[in-house]
Structures are given as structure tokens and as C-alpha cells.
Amino acid sequence: MHTRRIGDVEVGAIGLGGMPMSIEGRPDEARSLATVHAALDAGLTLIDTADAYHRDADEVGHNETLIAKALATHERGADVLVATKGGHLRPGDGSWTLDGSPEHLKEACEASLRRLGVEAIGLYQFHRPDPKVPYAESVGAIRDLLDEGKIRLAGISNANPEQIRQANEILGGRLVSVQNQFSPAFRSSEPELRLCDELGIAFLPWSPLGGISRAGGLGSAYAPFARVAEAHGVSAQRVCLAWMLAKSPVVVPIPGSSRPETIRDSAAATELKLSAEELAELDAV
């Protein structure tokens, strides 16, 4: 597994997104644990979770608890950087709400610490801007948690370029990651990716495989991914992640998975080399 950096931590170039193991349509616990273990066996050392990754109102932090159990039952569990998030909520009716108040973020961090069973969270990220709370106040809470040693690294998610610069300033230059949606079907985060590349901040694409499930369809806009995949004898998903990794050394995709075989396939993307012509063809999709 090739590696990249998040702050001063070296991680596998592909991470694991934990959300599918805890929301609607989730698998049983045994398969989820097997998926996390397969990720570790493949060399992944970054797992992304959040307190909002749950299904029912009475199980806040379901995914954090699951990840903690999986890591505790694997010999390489201690080598993993666990990234979690606060500021998003799920009332239990399928909706998502926001609370970016400093009070909530600090309480949420304490609860995440307990569920993960650690003294300090490896990477803590402000999940999504809350229009009701000034952004500086929300990020200020993350700064306080960093200063207090409750978290080791600080990140933000779903941010625009102005918010990235503002957060980095508030954190005193200690912003290490930005987690935004980015995929073949969702490329509007290109400016944020370029800014992260310029500043040396890790860019963590969430839902990186968006659109790829339709790559093989006749007339599909994403058919070039399927053509490149066929030429290499691999999946379109693997091509997608390799294309993403080639964009910048700060990119660390975090594909969600709930099956051992899918995360193994994703992990193999770090070994796939695409030609300049192939990359240009995929960029043009």
C-alpha cells in the first residue's frame, strides 16, 4: 500500500469510509467487522466515521462503536488513524440536521472519545457548516479541542475555499484535512482540491465512486472509465480511485464499503498506473 500524509501522520493512500456499515441498508455486524479487518489486511490505515453515522435515534455513534470494536479485535488496529466528525445529527426519521454550536461540538467530541475508547481522537472534523452559527465560532471550538489535547489533528468537511482559508487561520495553520464530496459525477469541489494542493492540506474525497456504477451502460457519460478498466482488466471503481490519486499527492479517497471484497478492490487502486492519455480521457468525462 502506497502512503500519503495527513498532517504529520503517514496513512495508506486509500482510506475506508464507514458510513454504509451503520445507516439504512446496513449489513449485519459480522460482515461489517470482516470489512474493517479486510481493509486493515490490505494495508489501509485511515478509517473515516462520524457520530451521525447511525440509523435510529437511540443509537448515536453506532459506527464509531463498531469501528472501535473492529480495531480492538485486529492485531493492526492500533496502527489506524481514526477520523471522526461532529456537527451533523440524525433525528432518526431519515433526515439530517445541523448543530455547529461550540457547546454541541465539545459535547459531541467527549461522547466520541468515550465510544472510540481513546484519550485523544486522531483526526476530528467539523462535519458541515451550520447557517445558524458563525463559521468562526464552530471552528474555534475545534481549535479549543486541539489546544486541550482532546484531538490530535483538526479537519473540516463540506467546506468552500473561503472557509478552508478561514479555518486554517483560526487553527493557526494547523488545518490538516478537508473532506468534500468529489467523484466522476460530482466535480464542483475541484477548486477546493486545488487549494488543498497549494496549501499542502490533505483532501479526502467522500463518495468518490459516485457515477461509476453507471459506467458500463450504453451511452453513459462515464463509459470511458469502463473502457479504461477493460483495457487494464480491473474494475471501473479501481480506475476511478487511481484517476483520483493521480490528481494530487494530497488526495486520500475514502470509499465507503460494507463488503470485504469491495474494500480489497479499492485498496488495489494504489498499484494501478494510468497513462497520461488515459488520465486526460477521464478528466474530460
Q: Is 135 a catalytic residue?
A: no
Give CA angle at 191 (199, 15), nearest 5°. Answer: 70
Please, what's the largest Cα pairwise distance for the chain?
A: 55
Cα dihedral 228, 232, 236, 240, rounded to 10, equals -70
What is the spatial distance between Cα 134 and Cα 243, in angstroms, rounded to a whole number? 36
Of 101, 48, 109, 37, nearest to 75 (Cα)? Answer: 37
CA distance 53 to 20: 8
CA distance 175 to 171: 6
Q: Are strands 97-98 and 88-89 parallel, antiparallel or unpaired?
A: antiparallel
User: HEC profile for 153-168?
Assistant: EEEEECCCHHHHHHHH
The neighbouring-strand residues paired with 81 are 46
* Rounded Cα–Cα distance for residues 276 and 261 (Å): 29
Catalytic residue from among 53, 124, 135, 222: 53
C-alpha–C-alpha distance, residues 206 and 152, integer Å: 21
- The gap between the terminal CA atoms of the chain, to the nearest Å, is 28
DSSP code of residue 121? E
Task: Please give the positions annotated as active site.
Answer: 53
